Amino acid sequence: MTDTVRVGAVADLHYAKTSAGMLQALFEQTNRLADLVLIAGDLTDHGLPEEARVLAKDLAAFVRVPVVTVLGNHDFEAGRPEEVTAVLREAGITVLDGEAVEVNGVGVGGTKGFPGGFGRGTLQAWGEPAVKQFVHEAIEEALKLERALTRLRTPRRLALLHYAPIAETVAGEPPEIFAFLGCGRLEEPLNRYGIHAVFHGHAHRGAATGRTSTGVPVFNVALPLLRRDRPDAVPLHVLEMPTGPDEAGSSGG
């Protein structure tokens, strides 16, 4: 029995109808590098079930380890997220939307998240009804994350999001769009429930790593970012999680 579980993470695959085989090399390498793969949203380019079927077929053909994912904003573009989710689940992929799952002794709680800004720039529910509805959606996603994390019973616990929970990992993007890349409301549950690490995507030009205010490691695993920062390595963030009481470590694959 091994004393570590290797968690591979990536995001923002943006599969189109013509993307069959596009990430074959990456998917095949995951079998060597990871015991579990997390995909942090934007699996499809336009949120079409047909795009999800192309991705599901590739994952089934090339990946031999469990896959857990959340949807991203692109997966909602066509207004058919339920169909996209159904296609993925039919292929044996675990899709989280406020739920938790245990794989190889590691617990993962996940949801998409939502925009809204960080710190003093966090949008508040004041003024027009549309603004209040926007903030309500951000709060609902934070509550979904909290519900997912409360269900984790494993010693090792991870959180999976599409939107960033802290500003640090979106640094590098234009400051004007920070509020559209994540929301600080997602940070509080992460600090409260003893999460060992957080993975997100969405910020393609952001920073690879950061920490919450209590020191929880946050990893931006957007595929374009991984390719930019590791041009000679497999674009997969690999986190090694000991089965014992020691702290987890990470590597670049």
Can you state the angle between helices 49-62 and 24-33, rounded to 10 degrees?
A: 50
pTM of the model: 0.94
Closest CA to 161 of 144, 139, 137: 144
Nearest to 69 by CA among 110, 15, 23: 110
The whole-angstrom separation of Cα 221 and Cα 224 is: 9
Q: How far is CA 35 from CA 32, 67, 71, 214, 253, in A?
A: 8, 9, 21, 28, 12
Name the DSSP letter for residue 151. Answer: T
Distances (CA, A) of 59 to 115, 143, 250: 29, 30, 24
How do the pLDDT tens digits run along the chain, 253 residues long? 468 999 999 999 999 999 999 999 999 999 999 999 999 999 999 999 999 999 999 999 999 999 999 999 999 999 999 999 999 999 999 999 999 999 989 999 999 999 999 999 998 999 999 999 999 999 999 999 999 999 999 989 999 999 999 999 999 999 999 999 999 999 999 999 989 999 999 999 999 999 999 999 999 999 999 999 999 999 999 999 986 554 444 544 4
Beta carbons within 10 angstroms of residue 82's beta carbon: 9
Hey, how many other C-beta atoms are within 10 angstroms of the C-beta on 124?
A: 10
* Coil/strand/helix, residue 237: strand
Residue with tokens 């990470």: 250
Integer Cα distance of 21 and 75 in angstroms: 20
Tokens read off for 153: 């019973």
Domains of the chain with CATH codes: 4-243 (3.60.21.10)
